[in-house]
Amino acid sequence: MRRQEALGALLASLFELSETHRQVIQWRFLEGLPVAEVARRLERSEGAVVALSIPALEALREAMNRLGEFTHG
């Protein structure tokens, strides 16, 4: 049951992100695509995708914190 709650919180949080941040999280971390493929899909450089990953993960963390789920410290 806890796993389903975690998945629900993750999905709800993803929908709070910008489209670009959501795509970076989905493709890089959920689907495990290589940076080169994410860059191709976003029509950006690989360096830009790596740089986008940091604020995307931060935005996801903040969205999850707003939901009050799975906060750390």
The DSSP secondary-structure symbol of 1 reads -
Domain around 59: 2-67
Residue 72 located in a structural domain: no
Average pLDDT of the chain, as a whole number: 89
This prediction has a pTM of 0.80
CATH code of residue 16: 1.10.10.10
Residue 73 located in a structural domain: no
Share of the chain above pLDDT 90, in %: 64
The pair of three-digit structure tokens given for residue 5, joined into one six-digit string? 């709650």
Residue 49 located in a structural domain: yes
Is residue 67 a contact partner of residue 6, using CB atoms and an 8 Å limit?
A: no
Is residue 5 a contact partner of residue 69, using CB atoms and an 8 Å limit?
A: yes
Count: domains in the chain: 1
